[in-house]
Amino acid sequence: MTVGVLALQGDFREHVAVLRHMGVSPIEVRLPQHLAQVERLIIPGGESTTIGRLLVRYHLLDPIRTRAGKDLAVWGTCAGAILIAREVLDQKVGGQPLIGVMDMQVRRNAFGSQLDSFETELAMSIVGETPLPGVFIRAPQIVALGSGATALSRLPNGGIVAAQQGRLLATTFHPELTGDDRVHRLFMEL
C-alpha cells in the first residue's frame, strides 16, 4: 500500500514523520508522477488558498479530483478538509480552487484568528474509547454533511470536527501534531 503526503505547502513534514514512525514509507507528492504512485493521499493543514493555487499550478487538482474516493483514499486535515469539501461558506468572490469531492459544507477560520487556536480532548469512538487530543489552529468547522457523509467526532457544543464519506476522511484538527497516531491508522484502513 502506497501513501502520499501532498508536499506543496503546510505541515506535510509532520504527517511524514508520523507515517515513518508507524513503519510506512510515504511519498512526498509534488507532481502528477508522484500522485500516480500512491493509493492514499494526505492533504495537510496549511493555507488552503495557497495549496489550492499550487494544486492548479502543478497540475494536481484534476487528477486528485478524478481519483479521490475511488482508487485514491484522501484525508484532508484542517486546510485539507477545506480543499476536499464541496462547499466553503465564506469564500471570497471567485473563491479558491477546491478539489470539492466530499459532500460537506465547511466554514474557514470558524473559531477565530491564530490567537483563538486551542486544544481539547475529542471523543472519536471509531479509533477507540480513549479521547483524542485535538489541536485546532485557525481551524475550519464542518457545518453540514450530505447524506453520504458521517460525523466521526464533535466538539461538546455539537460542532462537527471529523467526518468520513467512503474512502474520504476530513479532520478540522491536527492529529499529526499530537503524538497520537490513531487517526493515521484509521486512514490506512480506509
pLDDT band at 94 (very low <50, low <70, confident <90, very high): low
Grid cell in block for residue 70: 475511488
Residue 179, phi then psi, degrees to nearest 5? 85, 0
Which residue in the list 121, 174, 184, 189 is annotated as catalytic? 174
Task: Give the CATH number of domain 3-189.
Answer: 3.40.50.880
Which residue in the list 14, 78, 121, 129 is annotated as catalytic? 78
Grid cell in block for residue 61: 487538482
The model's pTM is: 0.95
d(CA 33, CA 86): 26
Which residue in the list 47, 176, 184, 189 is annotated as catalytic? 176
Cβ atoms of 97 and 8 within 8 Å: the answer is no
Instruction: List C-alpha distances in Å: 180 to 47, 92, 128.
Output: 23, 35, 12
Q: Is 78 a catalytic residue?
A: yes
pLDDT at 93 exceeding the cut of 70: no
Q: Is 34 a catalytic residue?
A: no
Helix, strand or coil, per DSSP, at residue 38: coil
Ranges of beta strands (E only) in the chain are 3-6, 27-29, 40-43, 73-77, 85-88, 102-107, 118-122, 132-136, 141-145, 150-154, 160-165, 168-171
Cβ atoms of 174 and 78 within 8 Å: the answer is yes
pLDDT at 111 exceeding the cut of 90: no
Instruction: List C-alpha distances in Å: 60 to 39, 46, 103, 117.
Output: 15, 17, 20, 30
Grid cell in block for residue 126: 471509531
55-64, 99-108, 115-124: least confident range = 115-124
The DSSP output letter for 30 is -
Rounded average pLDDT over 151-173: 96
Q: Is 47 a catalytic residue?
A: no
- Taking phi over 0 as left and psi of -120 to 50 as alpha, with beta for the rest, 12 belongs to alpha
pLDDT at 180 exceeding the cut of 90: yes
pLDDT in tens, 3-54: 999 999 999 999 999 999 999 999 999 999 999 999 999 999 999 999 999 9
Reference 177, options 120, 135, 137, 138; nearest CA is 135
